[in-house]
Structure 1
Amino acid sequence: MSDTNNTTQTYPCPQCKSLTRWTNNPWRPFCSERCKLIDLGDWAAERHAIPGDDNAPGDFEEF
């Protein structure tokens, strides 16, 4: 009997929801470079945003 654990942790890709492996995955948490680039494009196009106060301290003031 082998003591080696051959189970690999899988999880859904945040972009396409297909199951992917965490270990030995250069694009994690995504399943592929394609899904990684789609997500990056969504951030660049401002389709994703982190909620916050529009008048938070430290924001630039208009002159």
Structure 2
Amino acid sequence: MVEIAKPEIKFNVGEELFRKYWRVLKLARRPKRDEFQKIALVAAAGILIVGLIGFIIYELMLLLP
């Protein structure tokens, strides 16, 4: 008779997850001032663009009906 190998089931998921998060935290570093300013500028531009698109759609909905 042929035995089928059963997959190993891990119950200790928290420890593995903690190790993954810890590895990422060890690799992370604080951004330099100019790098942070560029990221903030891009994020602000994205927020403004999404807001502008939403405002345009809102105005069109008021005018069309």
Query: What interval of TM-score do these two structures reach, taking the shorter chain for normalisation?
Result: under 0.3
* TM-score w.r.t. length of structure 1: 0.26
Higher share of residues assigned strand? 1
User: Going by fraction, where is helix more abundant, 1 or 2?
Assistant: 2
